[in-house]
Structures are given as structure tokens and as C-alpha cells.
Amino acid sequence: MNFHVIAYNTKTVARDKLPKTWEDLLNPEWKGKLMLNPDEQWFALMLQIMGEEKGLNYMRALAKQSPVLRREPRAMRAQLLIAGEAEMDLDSTYTILLPLMKKGAPVDWTTLGPALMNTVGYGLAVRAPHPNAAKLFIEFILSKEGQRVVLSFERQSARSDLASEQGALKNIKMVPLDPSQGENMEFYARRAKEIFGN
């Protein structure tokens, strides 16, 4: 799974000064200090946890905070955050930040209520040259032993029996993206563009 977090630059934001809720980001003190790629997946996750009407109103208010809009991948935005382009990135992932934190980069993460999460799947090609070997691999990778291998690559596992082995995440309530939202991604992309611009 990909566990979405808010990344912040530890040189410019003290942990005790972090916002506690999404609404706290609307305070004037955060104007011009936030970075965001308002892509359709993030937009859909936010509307899912807030509800459509409240979520759209929130997005309009957030746009008035003049966030730094960046279309780069999350890994690049983490580098820009470290370089001081903004104080917070509203849609980073734990997987991107963990190696940077281990190397001593001035970056850390927080959540504002339930953490947003999307799952990652494994698949089998229709015309796989060795379909039975692929089936065995999928069976292994989804097993507890296989997911421990996934954890060794600093990724996260959605297996509840491995929750205690993912220390930083064990007390975080997670909200997965509803798979049915995939049908509405065009709507979310269009609304995000209307609210935040190009």
C-alpha cells in the first residue's frame, strides 16, 4: 500500500507548531508555504474523507492559500521541500520520506486525522510465458513471509498480521481509496484543474 502523509521541512517547521487538522492549513500563517500536486487521486481521497460538498468547499479555501503547485513526482517534491521551496508538501508518501529521514535529511511527516492510503496490486499477464510460475510468485508475495520481504524494501504491507512490524504506522487510522472512484477520475481531474488552475 502507499501511505499518504504530509511532509514538512524540519528546519522551517517545528513539530509542536504543526497543524492538527486539515482546517488548520487554512490559517493565514500557512499562506504561500504549502506545496501541492492537486492530482485526481489526491483530490478523490480528500473528497472521500470529507464528503463531496465539504471537500469541494475545502479545496476552494485551500486554493486561496496560494499553494506552490508542482506537477513533479512525489520523490522530486521531497527534494524541493528539503531545498526550501515550501514548508510542507500536502501529498507525500511515507515510502518516499523514510530513506531521506534515515540519511538525516531535514524532513519528517505527519497526518491530519485519518491517513489516506491506496493499495498496490499484483497481476498476471494474459499471455505470461510461465503462468504457473507467476501464480506461485503471487501466492508467495501475498503470504506473510512474502510481505516481510516487501517490508525489507521499506514498503508497507496491508496485512493486519504484520501491523506490529511497521512501527511508525501501527497507531495510524488509514482510509483506503474506494476502488469504485476509479470511474470518476476524469471528474476529479477536471474539478482540481478548475479550483487550483493549471
Segment 34-61 mean pLDDT: 91
The answer to whether residue 162 sits within a structural domain is no
Q: Say if residues 136 and 197 touch (Cβ distance below 8 Å).
A: no
Alpha carbon distance 112, 22 (integer Å)? 6
Q: Please give the residue range of the domain that contains residue 85.
A: 2-116+178-196
Q: 97-113: per-residue pLDDT in tens?
A: 989 999 999 999 999 88
Single-letter code of the amino acid located at 174:
M
Total number of domains in the chain: 1
* Per-chain mean pLDDT for the chain: 88
Beta bridge partners of 6: 110
The answer to whether residue 50 sits within a structural domain is yes
**pLDDT at residue 166 in the model:** 65
**pLDDT at residue 81 in the model:** 96
The answer to whether residue 96 sits within a structural domain is yes
Q: Say if residues 110 and 14 touch (Cβ distance below 8 Å).
A: no
Burial class (CB in 10 A: 0-12, 13-18, 19+), 92: buried
**pLDDT at residue 180 in the model:** 80
Q: Say if residues 182 and 40 touch (Cβ distance below 8 Å).
A: no
| Single pTM value for the model | 0.81
The answer to whether residue 32 sits within a structural domain is yes
177 — pLDDT class (breaks 50, 70, 90):
confident
Alpha carbon distance 24, 70 (integer Å)? 22
Provide the 8-state DSSP code for 178.
P
Contacting residues for 178 by C-beta, under 8 A, at least 6 apart: 48
31: domain CATH number? Answer: 3.40.190.10
**pLDDT at residue 170 in the model:** 65
